[in-house]
């Protein structure tokens, strides 16, 4: 979502690699795997789109609820795509206390993020972190570390939380999803989230362009388009809904107008 922003902050002082969306998300989630450059970009986005940290937290919370639901329904294998740094309540931290035998594989195209991810996972059993471009399903599905941890012949949950916003329509997101779901066995699941049309976000992008230059570009899609991507899967209740309304638990941060959130979540099961 912020790759264009990243290209415009090369002059900022920093002692490490350029900023990345994974580390910006880490800022907003209260993590510690980010640098000064990431914090600067995060603050710039926050000025123009103050709802973003809340939405990122909602994505993480919805993912956590999906994982708990999946464990309750017998899933013990998880493949998380475009993972970022696996901290602050990421998949393995949620699943292992509930199912110590569960297996988790993360994948991210950023080699620096993947390296940090492998460091974070040291000491955790049955987990791996792949450096792979998730938009190239062959890189993920044929990776030897994936097959070391996960048996694709058994039910697996593939999580594409915050992934589809990096796949423009011309790159055929439906075909990308099909490549992954075709590789799953019966009884597997696919979890997705997607930003929809939001006037607040459009206004934020316009403000960003006035303050900093060309804004970030990413596709916004409505529930009907997500339903097309999930064709052939049985969509779990409550269906395709705003993030805070996907099976909220008591005490979850939903906000006073959760139904107005234009970021959607859904979970589909392969028959």
Instruction: Give the start-to-end residue ranges of the domains of the chain.
Output: 58-198+219-269
Distance separating alpha carbons of residues 78 and 13, to the nearest angstrom: 38
Distance separating alpha carbons of residues 153 and 47, to the nearest angstrom: 47
- The predicted structure's pLDDT at residue 22: 66
**Residue ranges in the chain modelled with pLDDT below 70:** 1-20, 22-23, 27-34, 47-48, 50, 198-217, 252-256
pLDDT, tens digit, for every residue of 183-199? 999 999 999 999 887 65
Task: Give percent above pLDDT 70 in the chain.
Answer: 77
- The predicted structure's pLDDT at residue 198: 65
Side-chain-facing half-sphere of 136: CA atoms under 13 Å: 10
Helices and strands (H and E) in the chain: how many: 11, 8
- The predicted structure's pLDDT at residue 33: 64
- The predicted structure's pLDDT at residue 13: 37
- The predicted structure's pLDDT at residue 8: 31
- The predicted structure's pLDDT at residue 58: 87
* CATH T-level topology, domain 58-198+219-269: Rossmann fold (3.40.50)
Q: Report whether 247 contacts 67 (CB < 8 A).
A: no
- The predicted structure's pLDDT at residue 136: 96
Element (DSSP H or E) covering residue 113? helix 111-120
- The predicted structure's pLDDT at residue 174: 96
């Amino acid at each position: 979502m912020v790759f264009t922003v990243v290209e415009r902050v090369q002059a900022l002082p920093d002692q490490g690699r350029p900023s990345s969306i994974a580390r910006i998300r880490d800022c907003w989630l209260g993590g510690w795997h980010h640098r000064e450059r990431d914090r600067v970009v995060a603050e710039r986005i926050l000025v123009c789109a103050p709802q973003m940290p809340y939405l990122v937290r909602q994505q993480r919370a919805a993912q956590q609820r999906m994982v708990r639901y999946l464990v309750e329904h017998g899933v013990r294998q998880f493949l998380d795509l475009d993972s970022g740094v696996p901290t602050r309540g990421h998949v393995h931290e949620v699943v292992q206390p509930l199912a110590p035998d569960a297996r988790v594989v993360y994948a991210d195209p950023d080699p620096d993020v993947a390296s940090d991810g492998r460091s974070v996972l040291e000491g955790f059993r049955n987990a791996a972190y792949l450096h792979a471009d998730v938009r190239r399903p062959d890189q993920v599905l044929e990776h030897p570390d994936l097959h070391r941890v996960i048996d694709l012949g058994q039910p697996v949950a593939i999580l594409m939380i915050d992934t589809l916003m990096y796949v423009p329509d011309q790159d055929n997101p439906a075909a990308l999803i099909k490549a992954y779901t075709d590789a799953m066995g019966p009884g597997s699941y696919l979890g997705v989230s997607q930003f929809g049309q939001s006037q607040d976000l459009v206004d934020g992008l316009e403000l960003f362009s006035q303050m900093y230059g060309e804004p970030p570009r990413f596709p916004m899609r409505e529930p009907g388009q997500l339903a097309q991507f999930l064709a052939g899967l049985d969509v779990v209740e409550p269906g395709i809904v705003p993030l805070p309304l996907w099976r909220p638990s008591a005490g979850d941060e939903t906000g006073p107008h959760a139904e107005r959130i234009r970021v959607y979540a859904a979970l589909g099961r392969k028959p």
